[in-house]
Amino acid sequence: MLDRVGEQAFELAYIKSSGAYAWGQKLRRNVLVQAARRLKGTPAGLVEVRATGRTGAMGGKEKGNEVWLLSVVGAPGEPGVPWDFVDATGFTQRESPSGAYGICLYAGGAGGTARAQAAGSEIELRFMSHPWSGVVEVTLDGRTETIDLSSETTRTVVVRPGRAPLVSVEHEAGSLGLPEVHVPSGPATERTPIDEQFLERVARTRPAVVAVHCPRWLGITSATEKLFECCYRVPQTPDKEPHRVPEAEIGRYARVLVESGVKHIVISGGDPSHQALVAMLRELAPDITIDVLWHGSYLQLQDAYEWNTLRGWMEAARAGHIRSICTVKAGMEDFFRSQGIRSHLVLNYVPGEPLEPPVLEESPVHVGLWISGVSFRKSPLVMISAMAMMGDCCLHAAGLDPRGSELAEFLGVGVERLSERPLPQREMLEAMRSTHVSLYTTFSECCPMLPLESMHQGVPCLTGPSSHLFDDDAWLFGRLVVPFPDRAEVIAQFMRRAVDERHEIMDRFRAYAIGYIARAQESVRQLIEEGPTLEREATPRIYAITQSPAARSLDHSTT
């Protein structure tokens, strides 16, 4: 074996010393060749590491912005990718006992870029972290993450750009789903006034469950704070990226939750920072019951962030780190159960009695478009085109991107109110009362809050056919659920009828809401008191839809 290893080493050294090999390496690193590759598009699985030249948080004027890339590993347990197959500009090779093949790539203040082809989402990048480390950007399949590598002590940081959690420190991931972690301590973990208020409230009300959620996601925040009486925000402010919460801060959240004494926690949403939080809770209080309430849809799994996050939770459930993955999308609970994971359907709702429709002039028709994020799944362009077909319309919108504003101006749609940013909850509800109808005809929803919020303000809301809303009331379904969200002429027909019949629609909804709210509250009670199960329903749901949505929805007669 030793003789054969020696022969292979000699063979590799001979190949690398040949002129053809050297010429090929120069050609691969040629600027024009690299530019031609970029024109062809970024291939799937190409991971890029960019040393930004910025100083890390632990640094200062006297400290540096170094990036030490120790290895690029195709999958856990595999050897590192040979450095000859990593295109590096601005990085230099240095000897390192911790690096792959005794070598690492180093970039200083001038920055640099390194690229390697990954075989899949299992790729790992290993960096050295110390007080002189800087900030690095890692890109995989269009998703870029910014990572501060600086730390008080020297250690190894493992970055998995295709998975969640994204970063682990000093060692490999332990059991499936959650990393092995230590809970940090020190001045950075001291409680904030928000933490103190939360602990005081828990001591006063003694809730059976605390729901953890991220305030950046407006729909999830609105739903969670209505479903559960006691909530805790992680991170605490919406300006913080939910997947870039420092380890010390997550440690503080974990300690506060443990100190509250609550033995049941629902993770509502489930960002990577929440996965790190669960890992720390398992270290501090293994007896706490943890359920996850997933607000995503199947279509969202096309997005790498959503896919990696859900995969992490499913692995955590199978490994026993969490009890269940519940859902707000009807039918998805059976999907999780088919994967051996306990689940339960929770119905979103808005408490209280719906208001009467606002008193408005018949013309122009005021239309509300309240968007928290524009994407192909939630595009306002078809809805604006439908408004143009309606004629005398006036747009009220928030969260509209530049293309939406441009389209409205080009089509001659009047604009009453336009905000580039989503409105705060209270301001949005007040703004709804200035409109005849809201539009939310999207392709991917679970149980959207905006239609429910609009209806409770007395304003009919058109929605898409991807959620369970109104599928147990054929009359409301036929007036509020647009069967073809990508057809402006169909949306325009529904919009005209919703405006003409808005008083009748709201009368019907007020009666419908009584039973729906009761069912929603019962679903929350079952989650808290009975717990999720692996058992599917004995009999399938019987929906009120008895004919094709297109035929029924365009029929103006009552059922």
Q: How many CA atoms lie within 13 A of 148 on its CB side?
A: 14
DSSP 150: -
Contact (CB, 8 A) for 70 and 127: yes
3-state SS string for 298-363: CHHHHCHHHHHHHHHHHHHHHCCCCCEEEECCCCHHHHHHHCCCCECECCCCCCCCCCCCCCCCCC
Q: How many CA atoms lie within 13 A of 68 on its CB side?
A: 24
Residue located via tokens 């539009």: 439
Q: How many CA atoms lie within 13 A of 200 on its CB side?
A: 7
Provide φ and ψ at 322, rounded to 5°: -125, 155
pLDDT at 174: 33
DSSP-derived secondary structure for 230-250: SEEESSSSTTS-TT---HHHH
Neighbours of 184 (CB within 10 A): 18
Strands 289-294 and 167-169, how do they pair? unpaired
Q: Alpha-carbon distance 320 to 99, whole Å?
A: 35
Taking the whole predicted model, whether its pTM rises above 0.75 is answered as no
Contact (CB, 8 A) for 160 and 275: no
Q: Report mean pLDDT in 10-residue bins for the chain, 559 residues.
A: 51 53 50 44 73 77 76 80 88 85 87 82 84 88 84 82 65 40 53 92 94 91 93 90 84 93 94 91 91 91 84 91 94 94 94 92 92 78 93 90 89 88 87 94 85 95 92 93 94 95 95 94 94 74 46 42
pLDDT at 18: 55
Torsion on CA atoms 308, 314, 320, 326, rounded to nearest 10: 120
Q: Look at residues 284, 292, 226, 219 and name the one whose alpha carbon lies nearest to residue 258.
A: 284
DSSP 219: H
pLDDT at 91: 92
pLDDT at 121: 64
Torsion on CA atoms 188, 189, 191, 193, rounded to nearest 10: 40
Q: Look at residues 307, 340, 336, 339 and name the one whose alpha carbon lies nearest to residue 164.
A: 307
Contact (CB, 8 A) for 454 and 433: no
3-state class of 541 per DSSP?
coil
Rounded to 10°, the helix 381-390/488-500 angle is: 60
236-to-190, 227, 266, 361, 417 alpha-carbon distances in Å:
14, 19, 16, 42, 30
pLDDT at 506: 96
Q: Which domains does the chain have, with CATH numbers?
A: 41-162 (no CATH), 187-338 (3.40.50), 365-514+545-553 (3.40.50.2000)
